[in-house]
């Protein structure tokens, strides 16, 4: 339990956990509308996510977070990986 608390404290201090209005992740492996729908449904289940858009041509997943909420890079990577894809990059805009 102590390791979990320390890990959580460290993660919240990393740049990847900063609150962001828009998060753009380039995702490898997206090839069809079924892929896009799967990613959209996965992220819509996250409490911090307000809206999500998947662009198959550019392989770009754009996540808009709710006000005063964010989703960290590790969570984004895990959700994408668990869905069967891989993250090439993550960028944040405020």
> What is the CATH number for 58?
3.30.70.100
Q: For residue 20, what are the domain limits?
A: 2-93
Q: How far is 63 from 46, CA to CA, in rounded Å? A: 11
94 contacts 39 by C-beta, under 8 angstroms: no
23 contacts 87 by C-beta, under 8 angstroms: no
Q: How confident is the model at residue 14 (pLDDT cuts 50, 70, 90)?
A: very low
Q: For residues 36 and 18, which has the higher predicted lDDT (pLDDT)?
A: 36
Domain count, the chain: 1
Is pLDDT of 60 > 90?
A: yes
Dihedral sign for Cα atoms in the order 78, 80, 82, 84: negative
Average pLDDT over residues 48-64: 97
């Amino acid at each position: 339990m102590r390791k979990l608390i320390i890990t959580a404290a460290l993660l919240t201090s990393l740049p990847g956990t900063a609150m962001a209005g828009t998060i753009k992740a380039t995702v490898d492996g997206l090839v069809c509308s079924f892929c896009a729908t799967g990613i959209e449904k996965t992220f819509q289940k996250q409490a911090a996510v307000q809206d999500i858009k998947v662009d198959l041509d550019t392989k770009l997943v754009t996540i808009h977070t709710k006000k005063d909420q964010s989703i960290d890079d590790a969570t984004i990577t895990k959700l994408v990986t668990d869905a069967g894809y891989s993250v090439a990059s993550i960028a944040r805009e405020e």
